[in-house]
Structure 1
């Protein structure tokens, strides 16, 4: 059994969390255009964009490396404006036994929560991925403020 961890980062946004939520969770397919340095492709494999059980994949750039992630949407809370994505395939599972990402948006804040289990103790914490989320948030905010 690996070492479990949880990382949380919140970033204040000037455009309002509800607008970020709209891009992240309702118009997710626009993210490759909003933040092309970070996200190159988003694809829906099963279901709809933001529905429990939908399966999606991403081609993205994390810490200067092109990566892939396949995820199932595990939880949607429209009142909290949050979605939980459970990783079921891709680069993250090379280092982690399990990995989930929750994004939540409220008023002027966007919060990223990563819950993971490292395969071994010497695997680093996913700080680069948390930084990736912060950059995607900033790029999205910049796009909305134009």
Structure 2
């Protein structure tokens, strides 16, 4: 089992970033049209445990056109969320793909902590650093959106 971690400091408040993350289906395709074609809620409300989201990515995302993600944990009090990719091209190369994120207040801004646990399908599969970059750019992009 491999693990990647990212921490992104934002000028936006933890509440603002957390609310945006909960509104992924409506906000992300608007804020990031260069990454997300659409985000659909297939099951649940898209914010709570058991919800399933279908993320449709633009062609520029390397080798990934969609992923179906299930929310495994959602905690308002700690502003944290955990999800597992349950369907998509990524599972052909990584047999396990589970992410966690938490938004922590820090001064006037916040700190977004994101981690990924993954298991490679075989030894030739590279580390999924592209997803680490994707997450970092997303959180920085959210912050920039709110700062404008």
Alignment counterpart, residue 67 of structure 1, candidates 52, 62, 65: 65
Partner of 2:124, secondary structure, is coil
Distance in 1 between residues matched to 2:120 and 2:60, nearest whole Å: 18
Show CA shifts across 1:6-43 (max 9, x none): 11100100112221111012x11211101111222100
CA RMSD of the aligned region, Å? 1.5
Q: TM-score, normalized by length of structure 1? A: 0.91
Q: What is the CA distance between 1:60 and its match in structure 2?
A: 2.0
Partner of 1:130, secondary structure, is helix
Alignment counterpart, residue 114 of structure 1, candidates 113, 116, 127: 116
Residues 63 and 132, structure 1, Cα contact 8 Å, conserved in 2: no
Gaps of 5+ in 2: none
Distance in 1 between residues matched to 2:121 and 2:114, nearest whole Å: 22
Please show how residues 21-36 of structure 1 align to structure 2 within 5 Å. 21-25=18-22, 27-28=23-24, 29-36=26-33
Residues 82/63 of structure 1: CA separation in 2 closer, same or farther (3 Å cut): farther
Distance in 2 between residues matched to 1:62 and 1:115, nearest whole Å: 25
Alignment counterpart, residue 85 of structure 1, candidates 83, 91, 94: 83
* Stretch moving more, 29-38 or 6-15: 29-38
